[in-house]
Amino acid sequence: MKLRSIILLFGIALLLPVASAQDSGQSELPSAPSASQQNNRPERPAPVPQAQTAPAPQASAQSASAVADPVKDDASPPSGKPAAADAQQSQPASAPAASSATLPESESVATIRKTVNEVSVVFTVTDKHGHYVKDLKKDDFKVVDDSKPAEEVRSFRSEADLPLQVGLLIDASNSVRDRFKFEQEAAVEFLNQTIRRRYDKAFVVGFDVTPEVTQDFTDDTQALSIGVRALRPGGGTAMYDALYFACRDKLMKAPQLGPVRRAIILLSDGEDNQSHVTREEAIEMAERAEVVVYTISTNLTGSSHHGDKVLERIAEATGGRAYVPFQITEVANAFAAIQEELRSQYAISYKPADFKSDGRYRTIEILAQNQKGLRIRSRHGYYAPSQ
């Protein structure tokens, strides 16, 4: 027994220096694995719902993101994400408290509703002698949208100085060669008298088989004049294609900082033999771009032409006016009359009744209420936006 005790004490004495060395070496390492995880692990939040721990600015940003990014708003959560966690994350954007505290979100929704549900129409009023009537008030008119009275008229004003975006479309086909020079000079005079520097903009398109932009949007009347004089007659006539192009690719895409008056002056004999689109397709594009088309016939024989009827249909459908001069000198008078009309108009904005964003065509009627013998001219309708 004594020998066994001596051996045991001797073994313990031998093991003590080894254990001490291991402890010393372990303390000299950069960090033990457990210590590394503890130092680098982000601090966990308290186990309470996210809506209670998230600060108010973060909730506001989340709400704005939900409005600005419809893809994120409509996307379904990943299948591995718990439903409760997803509900907690979406709660700040949809809960009433968060909505009331997030002013930018409510303003954005209101703006969208206004854009969708409000229709703006520019129109002219003449008496039985054809003179413009410029002193009428909102109560002198009634708006009927899709056969129903408008729910609310939101604004009404006389628009004598509305900024203009004008497209000048000149038929440069062989059929107008003999009078082309005079028509060019009449168009130049119109632009000089109508386009105001730093306020209005115009562009020039000549067309035969294809439309050609000889001067893009500018307020420089000298540049516009050069664009008109650069045109040379020759080839067939693709008038509908030119009108379609000017509305879709020029006026519809033109930037605007506020209300503008979009108009096209179409100078042609109305005879189309080369277009890929139809007359009604060109008219529809003008309506979608909210463009009023004024036409000036270049048929000067004094008799009725099929082309004149075509030009009249285009002008009447878009709220414009068709001019049929009997002499070449009357072309300049037609340009002067268009200039006067562009400065003698009213603009009304209203909320339609029973409005639906279904992409359907809706008719517009503006009726005079308090005076007889007035003639009101405006576009006949519009296409509702599609959802």
How far are the Cα atoms of 140, 164, 201, 214, 249 from residue 217, in angstroms, in the given order? 37, 11, 6, 10, 12
Q: Flag whether pLDDT at 94 surpasses 60.
A: no
Segment 203-216 mean pLDDT: 96
Higher pLDDT, 39 or 252: 252
Helix 180-194 × helix 330-342 angle, to 10°: 30
Residue 348's beta-bridge partner residues? 121, 156
Cα 192 to chain centroid, rounded:
29
Q: Does residue 202 sit in helix, strand or coil?
A: strand
Burial label, 17 (beta-carbon count in 10 A; 0-12, 13-18, 19+): exposed
Per-residue pLDDT of 267-321, as tens digits, reads 999 999 999 999 999 999 999 999 999 999 988 766 678 899 999 999 999 999 9
Of residues 342, 377, 376, the one with CA closest to residue 165: 342
Average pLDDT score over the chain: 76
pLDDT band at 243 (very low <50, low <70, confident <90, very high): very high
Cα 190 to chain centroid, rounded:
29
How far are the Cα atoms of 139, 264, 285, 332, 337 from residue 297, in angstroms, in the given order? 37, 14, 21, 12, 14
Per-residue pLDDT of 317-374, as tens digits, reads 999 999 998 887 888 899 999 999 998 999 999 999 989 889 899 999 999 998 889 9
The reported pTM is: 0.68
- Contact present, 241 and 276 (Cβ < 8 Å): yes
Domains parsed from the chain with CATH numbers: 120-159+353-383 (no CATH), 164-343 (3.40.50.410)
